[in-house]
Amino acid sequence: MESKRTVLISGGAGYIGSHTAVELINAGYYVVIIDNLTNSERDSVAGVEKITGKKVAFEVVDTCDRAQLKTVFETYPFDTVIHFAAYKAVGESMAEPLKYYQNNLVSFMNIVAMMKEYGRPNILFSSSATVYGEAEHLPVTEQTPRQPATSPYGNTKQIAEDILRDSCRAYDNVRGIALRYFNPIGAHPSALIGELPRGVPNNLVPFITQTAAGIRERLSVFGNDYDTPDGTCLRDYIDVVDLAKAHVATVNRMTSDKMEDRYEIFNIGTGRPISVLELLTTFENVNNIKLPYTIVDRRPGDVPAVWAETSRANEVLEWKAERTLNETLKSAWEWEKHVRNII
């Protein structure tokens, strides 16, 4: 392994991490995956190996544990980390804020501190469109002011962005890029890796696929009285393979010394707003399935609409979302069928 071509992926057994591992390997990088498997299974690493035909270095490591991380840093010669490892359930973060601040912030501070200590310069951080809250102007650009966080989860993203920004300012050998993901959905076209929520899904697409599989009785559409074309919320749904490729473009930028600033931010979305009902009917049409649903009250905390201005990522990262919503929603259903053994 050579250091400039080796990437450490924390949380790499998870949904976005496993897809990113595939795309990095396909682009010629070596990857080292660390994950404590609190929200994922070893199977996803096996899926990455099956798709790529390459053996992957994988260690069960808790990024909150510095001693475990030290061994990783002393064993592998990466110069770049992609830090996915975090808890991500917004509702749970309201009920158990300390669990979120502890895991999401301690793990990130450990990663930044160790990168600095070992002279490994490149840190890519998984941020979220949640930092924009209810924006005054749409689509949101990277300059759109962040709104005060409405959940501890969202707050961990804002604080971690600030930790990275300040570390890049202060330490010569640290540089960072925060990618603000919009709504990642879908699965790898092989159906060998995908999203595996534990318990009742909070997010729309896993709830839809589980309803289609008969695990959930019906979908609740949270509100149809928003000030939007069909009254349901608008989001920017980004295919997970496209999102994974954005990470490859970002790593290319960092490892080829192309960064203009020591800390940079990019929105990663499609730039296209889609309503809940539009997503639902597209899923029905491409998969030839009828989904039972009921319109219910708004879900507290939901913003009416948010979507990305993506020109900075398109131009600077030379990346853009390519998969169609049809392809993405087909892949989401293929994955659910694979998981549930539905023929």
15 residue type, one letter: Y
The neighbour count for residue 297, using CB atoms within 10 Å, is 9
Residue closer to ligand NAD by CB (options 73, 87) is: 87
Q: Does 196 bind ligand WQD (CB under 6 A)?
A: no
**Structure tokens given for 26:** 């396909």
153 carries an active-site annotation: yes
Q: Does 155 bind ligand WQD (CB under 6 A)?
A: no
Element (H, E) at 59: strand 57-60
- Determine which one of 153, 181, 226, 263 is catalytic: 153
Footprint (CB under 6 A) of ligand NAD, residues 79-98: 84-88
Q: Does 38 bind ligand NAD (CB under 6 A)?
A: yes
Burial 190-199 (b: 16+ CB within 10 A, else e): ebbbbbbbee
Report, in Å, the least distance between residue 102 CB and ligand NAD. Answer: 9
Q: Choose which of 202, 228, 252, 311 interacts with ligand WQD (CB under 6 A).
A: 202
Element (H, E) at 274: strand 274-275
Residue closer to ligand WQD by CB (options 196, 219) is: 219
* Packing angle of the helix pair 15-26, 43-52 (nearest 10 deg): 20
The neighbour count for residue 312, using CB atoms within 10 Å, is 16
Q: Does 242 bind ligand NAD (CB under 6 A)?
A: no
* Contact pattern from residue 111 through residue 150 relative to ligand NAD, giving x for each residue in contact according to CB under 6 A and a dash for the rest: ---------------x-x----------------------
Q: What φ, ψ does residue 318 adopt, rounded to 5°?
A: 55, 45
Instruction: Annotate 136-179 with DSSP letters as a single string.
Output: SSSSBPTTSPPPPPSSHHHHHHHHHHHHHHHHHHH-TT-EEEEE
Report, in Å, the least distance between residue 37 CB and ligand NAD. Answer: 5
Q: Does 15 bind ligand NAD (CB under 6 A)?
A: yes
Active site (catalytic) residues: 153
Which residues here bind ligand NAD, judged by CB under 6 A?
10-11, 13-17, 35-40, 62-64, 84-88, 103, 107, 126, 128, 181, 184
Give residues in contact with ligand WQD (CB under 6 A). Answer: 88, 90, 128, 130, 183, 202-204, 207, 219-222, 233, 235, 276, 299, 302
